[in-house]
Structure 1
Amino acid sequence: MSLLRSSGSWPLLEVIINAEWEDTMQITQLVIARRGPTGQVAIGTFLIDLACLGVKNAYGYLFPNERAYRNSLRADMTSKQKMVAIELDCAAKIIEEAIAYAKKLGFRPHKDIRYARPVMGETHPEQCDLDVPLGGPEGKPFFIAGPYDNPERIMRILDRKVGPGNYTYLTPIGPETLFFEDDDFEEKWEE
């Protein structure tokens, strides 16, 4: 753990983000990787919801070497989506603006951000001229429930902070939900 805390001063190996990060309807995945003095690689990774919840998940990890990093986490991420390089200050700006937006809505970053944030090291987000999109397509919060979210709790918080009708949400349909309640449909299907 102490190596992770000090890793922010190590040379940057790379900072990558999913290519479609500006689409607020997608979860943004961002990784900061630094090479240590004996070849180890410290990473801070962030899952970011720019439409509502901010930093949904984060963690810091120490790989024994660059090969281990590239063959595991990096290979897994790049097999699922296109990742592109981004400047560290711009990565920090995305993270900080997502946190600030979510805070206004009543949400805090994932508790494990304390392990990922030290890997960022010293940053200057104000020097990045990227416009970070926040909120859904209509400019208001858009909550898309994930597998580990508590939709009822999140919607109560949104009701309290921005008011009913001032946000959009999408939650999974439970197994007990009836898709069709139209008797005509059932009769036509049985014919």
Structure 2
Amino acid sequence: MAKKQKRKQHKKLQRALQKRTQRKKKLVQRAIHESASERPASMLRRAREFPFLGAWVQRDWQQYGIASMIVARTQPDDNITFGRFLVDTFCVGLKDTFFGVNVEPNQFHNDALPRLYQGEPPISVSVELAHEIIYGAIEFAEAIGFRPHRLFNRTRNILDTADAQPRSGVIEFGHGGVPTYVPAPGDNQRMVLNRLVENVGIGNFNYVPAGEPPEGFEELFQQNAQAQGQPPIPASPIWTPEQQAAQGDVDSDSGLWVPNQQTDAPAETSSVEEAEQQPERSALWVPGT
């Protein structure tokens, strides 16, 4: 009788332990699910809590003055939060930015990265270098009157603060330290040139049109030279290097990146004030939509 009672108690204890274990598993699974399904804005606000996964940029970015930078962090559920930062290191700073959250590692490495770099393998760089390029370009541009893209208010959470990472001091901004404007498709060139003339002054920046300069641009320079009390400019203000930087369509025309869909080469978005005047758009990279 005593043995039967002990066996019953043992079985009862085992069932209780099994139920407790199952409850714990469900709680863990629920926590993971809640983390994975957390709203993108909430996940983005928490991004600085996550460890860095890495940073990437396209090859030859220094030659052309355009760095298409990806910075990624690993979420508690092992999925990935990343930000994309398109920076013009020669002149106007951060031109475009967007982010993605809850991206599966396999999808990030085998789908997102190849598509974001249009099939050209990017190079891995240190997180410190990524911060130096992004923040350095923004600071250089702000000093000459250009603010970063408005969505940086969101995507900056994927980065550390501007002074958190050490800087090497070897990254050069401007071409030889001189603001050098190389317009991309979709740029409001006249607005950018106006701002350069106002904030830097004629003769203190370079202008390298990738195609036809905006109509009346020489008159713009002449008028501003006279307003500044300078003699008329006898020749074109265009600076022509020995080898003009090739312009690639590296910018994104949308804050939304859709995997499993072939995309055309994106057009350059309008910079500075034009970008700020555009209707609000999502800055979120959404997988599976």
Matched, 1:53 2:92: yes
Separation (CA, whole Å) in 2 of partners of 1:135 and 1:125: 24
Aligned to 2:47: 7
**Cα RMSD after superposing both structures:** 2.3
Which of structures 1 and 2 has the bigger CA Rg?
A: 2
Instruction: Select between 112-121 and 125-134 the one with higher mean Cα deviation.
Output: 125-134
Residue 162 to residue 123, structure 1, CA distance change in 2 (3 Å): closer
Contact 2:131/2:165 (<8 A) preserved: no
Aligned to 1:30: 69
Contact 1:43/1:60 (<8 A) preserved: yes
- By relative contact order (CA 8 Å, sep 6+), the higher-ranking structure is 1
Residue 124 to residue 52, structure 1, CA distance change in 2 (3 Å): same
Contact 2:87/2:94 (<8 A) preserved: yes
Percent identity of equivalent pairs: 25
Aligned to 2:183: 145
> For residues 91-110 of structure 1, what are the structure 2 equivalents within 5 Å?
91-110=130-149
Q: 1:132-185: per-residue Cα shift (whole Å, max 9, x none)?
A: 111125x311111112311000000000011123211133327x9xxxxxxxxx
Contact 1:89/1:124 (<8 A) preserved: no
Q: Which runs of 5+ in 2 are unaligned?
A: 1-40, 216-289
Q: 1:36-63: per-residue Cα shift (whole Å, max 9, x none)?
A: 1123211011001010001111112214
> For residues 67-146 of structure 1, what are the structure 2 equivalents within 5 Å?
67-121=106-160, 124=163, 127-137=166-176, 139-146=177-184
SS at match of 1:127: coil
- Structure showing the higher strand proportion among its residues: 1
Contact 1:46/1:55 (<8 A) preserved: yes
Q: How many residues align?
A: 174
- Deviation of 1:125 after TM superposition, in Å, equals 5.4
Matched, 1:17 2:57: yes
Residue 151 to residue 123, structure 1, CA distance change in 2 (3 Å): closer
Q: Which runs of 5+ in 1 are unaligned?
A: 177-191
> Normalising to structure 2: TM-score of the pair?
0.55
Separation (CA, whole Å) in 2 of partners of 1:37 and 1:22: 34
Q: Which amino acid aligns with 2:197?
A: D
- Deviation of 1:82 after TM superposition, in Å, equals 4.2
> For residues 155-170 of structure 1, what are the structure 2 equivalents within 5 Å?
155-170=193-208
Separation (CA, whole Å) in 1 of partners of 2:121 and 2:110: 16
Q: Which amino acid aligns with 1:134?
A: F
Contact 1:17/1:84 (<8 A) preserved: yes
Q: Which amino acid aligns with 2:195?
A: I
- Deviation of 1:21 after TM superposition, in Å, equals 2.8
Separation (CA, whole Å) in 1 of partners of 2:115 and 2:144: 32
SS at match of 1:30: strand
> For residues 169-184 of structure 1, what are the structure 2 equivalents within 5 Å?
169-171=207-209, 172-173=211-212
